[in-house]
């Protein structure tokens, strides 16, 4: 017969193991889900489903030699390019990509070996070099496109607001 303390400790160990298992399962399911979102967003950009390689274990989707992660922002499927930082080589993510324009901008920065496309990365190489990590200001054309997008988004939201009467 085990003591109360022994049984309590055994129960705690069991619960901890259970928690560990379920959180690992949840993380694996979330990665699979993220990969599916990325695949969906790539299809929306016109990539043929057969050209999309979904890697649920890594939570990524690959197409055309590029690696993406997916996430949902305000109900929209968004992409993020995953690639090495040009300065330190660490794997980093890009800012949110919702269309070909966004993707084109990231790819152009990458082509020029600039780091403006990287988000949330405190680069050790750039810190040593004493360079700024501030993103470059948008060009006038890019500002205009962003403004037009904002207007279109507001229009769409207003249209929805009119359709759904307030209670």
Closest CB to Zn ion among 85 and 107? 85
Q: How far is the CB of 102 from Zn ion (least distance, A)?
A: 21
**Nearest CB to Zn ion, comparing residues 39 and 117:** 117
Two structure tokens written together for 18: 């259970």
Give 62 or 126: the residue with its C-beta nearer to Zn ion: 126
CB of 107 vs Zn ion, minimal distance in Å: 18
Near Zn ion in 74-93, by CB under 5 A: 85, 87-88
Question: C-beta of 105: minimal distance to Zn ion in Å?
Answer: 19
**Three-class SS of residue 83?**
strand
Alpha carbon distance, N-terminus to C-terminus of the chain = 63
Say whether residue 123 binds Zn ion (CB under 5 A).
yes
Indicate the SS3 state at residue 62. strand
Considering the complex, state which of residue 49 and residue 84 has its C-beta at the smaller distance from Zn ion: 84
Applying CB under 5 A, does 47 fall inside the site for Zn ion? no
* Gyration radius of the chain over CA positions: 22
Q: Give the list of residues 6+ apart from residue 93 with CB closer than 8 angstroms, or none.
A: 69, 80, 81, 82, 118, 119, 120, 121
Report the residue number, 39 or 118, with the smaller CB distance to Zn ion.
118
Burial 97-114 (b: 16+ CB within 10 A, else e): bbeeebbebbbebbeeee
Size of the site for Zn ion (CB under 5 A): 4
For residue 132, the minimal CB distance to Zn ion (Å) is 13
Q: Which residues bind Zn ion (CB under 5 A)?
A: 85, 87-88, 123
């Amino acid at each position: 017969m085990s003591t109360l303390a022994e049984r309590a400790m055994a129960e705690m160990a069991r619960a901890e193991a259970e928690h560990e298992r379920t959180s690992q399962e949840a993380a694996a399911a979330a990665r699979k889900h993220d990969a599916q979102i990325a695949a969906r967003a790539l299809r929306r950009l016109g990539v043929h489903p057969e050209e999309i390689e979904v890697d649920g274990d890594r939570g990524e989707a690959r197409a055309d030699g590029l690696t993406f992660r997916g996430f949902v922002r305000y109900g929209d499927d968004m992409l993020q390019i995953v690639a090495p930082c040009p300065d330190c080589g660490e794997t980093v993510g890009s800012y949110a990509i919702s269309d070909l324009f966004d993707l084109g901008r990231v790819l152009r920065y990458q082509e020029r070996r600039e780091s403006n496309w990287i988000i949330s990365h405190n680069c050790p190489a750039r810190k040593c070099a004493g360079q700024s990590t501030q993103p470059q200001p948008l060009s006038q054309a890019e500002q205009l496109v962003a403004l037009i997008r904002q207007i279109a988004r507001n229009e769409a939201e207003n249209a929805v607001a009119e359709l759904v009467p307030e209670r």
